[in-house]
Structure 1
Amino acid sequence: MTTKEKAQGGLMETVKTVVYALLLAGVIRTLFFQPFWIPSGSMKDTLLIGDFLFVNKMAYGYSQHSCPWSLCPIPGRILASEPERGDVVVFRHPVNGSDFIKRLIGLPGDTVQMRNGVLFLNDAQVPLTPAGEFVETFERQGPVGHMPRCANAPVGLGGECVKPRFIETLPNGAEHAVLNIETGGFGDDTPVFEVPEGHYFFMGDNRDNSQDSRFAQAVGGVGMVPFENLIGRADRVMFSSAGSSMLAFWTWRADRFFEGIE
């Protein structure tokens, strides 16, 4: 074998290795775990801007949205498992095709309503217990440079941005933190929503800073989300960075690495 033939053979082996690696990565992303980067503050303080996690795609089975660009040729859902109230779920927006992450609040057949900032499920008030304050620095966050909203506004750059924190206990016993920025905000008092069969009702934990099922799709919300739009469950933060780039190691939040999501 000549030197040229050896070089061509080595190149082909390299190409094959890259192709196999890409195919394996595609299979893993489609069937098992999908990476997801938190771009906004709608799930504070459960999830922060710059948290990086893997979504468990085995949790609810598979639909057309399990593949990138919703290309899976799957009618409905296969190997389906019902999500549980309180799960943190990544789903495909029913209209604009974006991936959203919110907490599952309403199941099929439920009624959901907010009254003066308090959640009511099936006309029963969901217990809400004060749990101190969530305090963060008033500065630009993440690659987009979002500024946080503060209950103690106005706050100067670099000052303490404070939000009252509560523990909400859902009917199945699942507990999670929610934040409150203002009383009487647009999503604090809503009509009664009836969750249709085959659909789910989602809300962000940062209640006054979340476009979710309280808001119609026509005004930027997500409305009721069909079961087939669910992509997977978020179980654990793998990595977290407070800066504009994950390469800025001095902004890494090491205390959030491998943290479970509740």
Structure 2
Amino acid sequence: MKAFFEVHLRLVITVWMILIAVLSLLYLMNFMKFDSLMSNVVSSKLDVISSSLETSILKADRLGIPLKSANNVSDLMDKAKQRDQNVASIDVIDLQGNIIFSTNNKSNSTFPNDEVIRRALKSNDKNWNLSADVYLYSGMQLFDGFDNLIGSVVISYDKASFYGVYSFVQLHLLEMTVFIFLFFALVVLLIIRFGFGDVTNIIKLIQVHSDGREETLPLVVKGSISSVFADQIEQSKKMKIMVAQELEDVQELAKESPITKGEQR
């Protein structure tokens, strides 16, 4: 048991830490993937609203009617907002980020989020979206008859509507992550505990040999690494005994040699 705590437990804890790091990374990646999936699903639904507004705005532009004078656009925006109660606002901005139309009566003011303005007017995609902490912003860039950018539709969608789904997915992912960790933690513990049994026996052999407690030799399986190590220890002990015996014989011969010389004289 001492050898287990000194060697095996350290190895087990190391493997557990690596397992925790990998599972944490997978948990984060899966949640981010789900967030991206939810954003894409909602954005696809909002693209329908943006497309309908784009048709009305471009129709007014082709007729030469100034956008601010196109009263039907405001009416269409109000009706489009009523389609989904989670749509916080719908805005149409120009190239400077100024609000031309808004369902929240923000006309002649600048859109408050600079990041949304940059995404709406400088994105390489006509249909764009941006996920923030509170809102999911989605919209469509507007081009005139000469294919020049004239502004963008900005739809602000309240993400609180699917916070419950987020909580459920987070809980499910956490449960699965904990279950996977406990399962593989037990597997790792058993593999290291029994698969590295020879290491434990070798450590015990070294401890027993160094302490001189020959009566407490651990049981080893013949043919295993610990068995080979035990045989080597046994051979080294025999060699030690033989060397000690030869030294004693040499010392005895050294003691007898002067007496023999005196008798010969």
TM-score, with structure 1 as normaliser: 0.30
The structure whose RCO (Cα within 8 Å, separation 6+) is larger is: 1
Which structure would you say has the larger Rg? Answer: 2
- Judging by fraction of residues, say which structure has more strand: 1
- Judging by fraction of residues, say which structure has more helix: 2
